[in-house]
Amino acid sequence: MPKNKIVGYKTEFVQAERLSREELLGQHEAWEAQAQTNLISNATPNLMLILNECR
């Protein structure tokens, strides 16, 4: 076992909040309305995960 084993990391956590369905749909529509983001998402063969303040 390594002598310098890391047992924890300093992190910052955001409060566990959720957006309402309407707010989430609004973010989705804003994403879809942008031509650049549509080109990027269509050109990416893998899934993309985009996080907002509420994760």
Q: Is residue 14 part of a domain?
A: no
Q: Is residue 7 part of a domain?
A: no
pLDDT at 16: 67
Q: Residue 29 sits in which domain range? A: 21-55
Report the distance separating Cα 53 and Cα 18, nearest Å. Answer: 9
Residue 28: phi and psi, rounded to 5, are -65, -45
- Assess contact for 19 and 54: CB atoms under 8 A: yes
Counted domains in the chain:
1
User: Which pLDDT score is estimated for 29?
Assistant: 92
* 1 belongs to a structural domain: no
In a domain, 47, yes or no: yes
Assess if residue 5 is contained within a domain: no
pLDDT score recorded for residue 14? 59
Pull the structure tokens for residue 7: 């047992």
pLDDT at position 22: 93
**pLDDT of res. 31:** 85
Q: Is residue 55 part of a domain?
A: yes
Q: pLDDT per position in the chain (55 positions), as tens?
A: 556 666 666 666 656 677 888 988 998 899 889 999 888 888 888 877 777 666 5
